[in-house]
Amino acid sequence: MKEFIIEENEAGQRFDKYLAKLLREAPKSFFYKMLRKKNITLNGKKATGNEKLLKGDTIKLFLSDETFDKFAGSSQAARAYCELDIVYEDPDIIIINKPAGMLSQPADDGEPSLVEYLTGYLLKKGDLTEEQLKTFRPSVCNRLDRNTSGMVCAGKSLAGLQFLSRIFHDRTLHKYYICLTKGKIEKPDHIRGYLHKDKKTNKVIVSRQEFKDSLPIETKYRPLGSNGKITLLEVELITGRTHQIRAHLAGTGHPLLGDTKYGDSEFNKQYIRHGVRHQLLHAYRLVIPETDQTFVAPAPELFCKIIKEENLEEAYHENLERNMGLRKNDHHSSSDRNACE
């Protein structure tokens, strides 16, 4: 017999969801059968699996060690270690300024992603234990393309994950990006369209007209400054589809500087000598009206280098200072001290 006591980080979820994490390799039919036969009990009583767990609940599994080990599988969660740029952290959520080149989520090739780095960070910090990893694993709630930098939100606890999932789903969290685009954009705009992803090429097609398997997209933008050749643009992502900003802006004739998938190759060639080999797109501001919080992560070094060389530095700093001074409880990345200096 094995006994488990529900901790705060596990409370609030359905009993069957908890069992699915505890017995990762077991088919659902197995633990429903065990519940019916009272081989799995909740607080000493027969349960159906749809009960909501509370802190302090006792779960008993009357299973042999061999059966438990077989269905529990490996509890070793993947982890990796590197220094993370933390924008904000509390007991439930963490916001990380992801560098370009890092994956947001695990991929099939086994390369460490932000999820593994987050797990390693929380284990080292003592905010997470190996025992807790058996039934809870921290994860990110929004994803940025590998070569897009900026803020990624993650849940350190079940409550944090549920809160972030809700505000992302309800679109009550406002996401703003800055990017450098080809050409001169003079006026703000709110553009709409439809997007379809081609899984074979990992590219998306954007159209003004709805077509089969397409999804509606909305993108707002406003120019912050332009030198006639390049525009520094702030983009608000209303819907969050794959490659939405990159493909949507390219469709308007203003592709992102450095974008090798949707951009202008001849335009991009002019900046290779400056080290630009990926899209200059940065998720720099998050606003959560519900909690009256604004988070800002200044642009990375390469982005700032191009901004300075294209004489757009003043427009960038005016916008950054305005957004970092919104409220007394604003938070910003530790890297802002060296931003675009």
- 322-to-15, 318, 325, 330 alpha-carbon distances in Å: 47, 6, 5, 12
Alpha helices in 14-157 (DSSP H): 15-22, 28-36, 65-72, 114-125
What type of residue is 4? Answer: F
Q: How far apart are CA 172 and CA 293, in angstroms?
A: 12
Residue 8 token pair? 């705060």
- Let me know how long the chain is: 341
- Compute the C-alpha angle 200/206/211, nearest 5°: 85
* Three-class secondary structure of residue 23 per DSSP: coil
**Dist. CA 138–CA 51, nearest whole Å:** 23
Extract the tokens encoding 303.
């982005």
Cβ density class 178-194: b for 16+ within 10 Å, e for less: bbbbbeebeeeeebebb
Contacts of 263 (CB under 8 A, 6+ apart): 182, 246, 250, 255, 256, 257, 279
Catalytic residue among 90, 109, 145, 330: 145
Q: Distance (Å, rounded) from C-alpha 318 to C-alpha 337?
A: 15
Angle between helices 15-22 and 28-36 (to 10 degrees): 120
Active site residue 127: no
Distance between CA atoms of 311 and 247, rounded to whole angstroms? Answer: 26
φ and ψ of 167, to 5 deg: -75, -30
Q: Indicate which residues carry an active-site annotation.
A: 145
